[in-house]
Amino acid sequence: MTKKRTRKSLRYLKNRIGIGESVILGSSVTLNNKELRFKNEPARHKLLDLIGDLALIGAPVKGQILAARPGHKSNVEFTKMLRKLYLQKKIEKKFQIMKSENCIFDIEAIMEIMPHRYPFLLIDRIIELEQGKRIVGLKNVTYNEPFFNGHFPIKRIMPGVLIVEAMAQCGFILVLNLLEDPSTKMAYFASIEKVKFRKTVTPGDQLVFEMYLQSFKRGICKIVGKAYRNFIGGEVVCEGEFMAAVVDK
């Protein structure tokens, strides 16, 4: 760095810090040759910054954290990741009473979150949940579904409107889990767009819903996703975009 650029940088630092005295870059590479209180004072400063940023998680951290040349920007991004994971585990612990393998929420936990009940609760299980981003749910379609009595007695086909409803319920579980107390809220349809039906659903099929949250502002959320038959990436049964208003019960 040239002397001219060095002087310019020092003037900039002087103005930012708000000091009136003259500023020089000392031989010890500190301003005005100020003595460090500790030999590793810069490292201690970085450590305190990291501890302070991690405190934003809102929960104690049990583990070992290694950081190379950390800064507030990288610390905050790391903290956001940990907080999202913490909130997800907190929600799972709150609603999932029984530990179930390969399951985030079973039907009992879903009933704690959702106001729907038989015969209109159309989600059996939540198997994946990325807080505020993505959710995957299951619906096992059996011969005993009440709607098959009339749709249709000869050729039993799950009504498309109920597939759409099941997709929306899955997405709304994702939205409601962003709230402090989801049990006090409900989600009402605001709009349904670009819905397309690709395949029929019959008894014995398993519907897999993969839904994404695109936006959630001022109580209005937008969710997009697809319903697959039997597994993600399989035959697409239905796809669409949904908007809903989240209101008090």
Domain locations in the chain as residue ranges: 3-92, 97-248
The C-alpha atoms of residue 41 and residue 47 are separated, in whole angstroms, by: 10
For 91-139, the pLDDT digits (tens) are 666 666 555 556 788 898 899 888 899 999 999 999 998 888 999 999 9
The C-alpha atoms of residue 238 and residue 229 are separated, in whole angstroms, by: 9
For 29-45, the pLDDT digits (tens) are 676 667 778 888 888 88
In one-letter notation, the amino acid at residue 143 is: Y
Those residues with Cβ within 8 angstroms of residue 205's Cβ, 6 or more apart along the chain or in another chain: 141, 158, 229, 230
As annotated, the active-site residues are: 72, 151
211 vs 5, more confident: 211
Which residues are 240's β-sheet partners? 225
What's domain 97-248's superfamily in CATH?
A: Hotdog Thioesterase (3.10.129.10)
pTM, whole model, 2 decimals? 0.70
CATH number of 3-92: 3.30.1700.10
CB-CB neighbours of 150 under 10 Å: 9
In one-letter notation, the amino acid at residue 4 is: K
Question: What's the mean per-residue pLDDT of the chain?
Answer: 86
Helix 41-54 and helix 72-95, axial crossing angle in degrees, nearest 10: 30
Question: What string of DSSP letters covers 117-148?
Answer: -TTS----EEEEEETTTEEEEEEE--TT-GGG
Q: What's the angle, vertex CA 229, arms to CA 135 and CA 111, rounded to 5?
A: 45
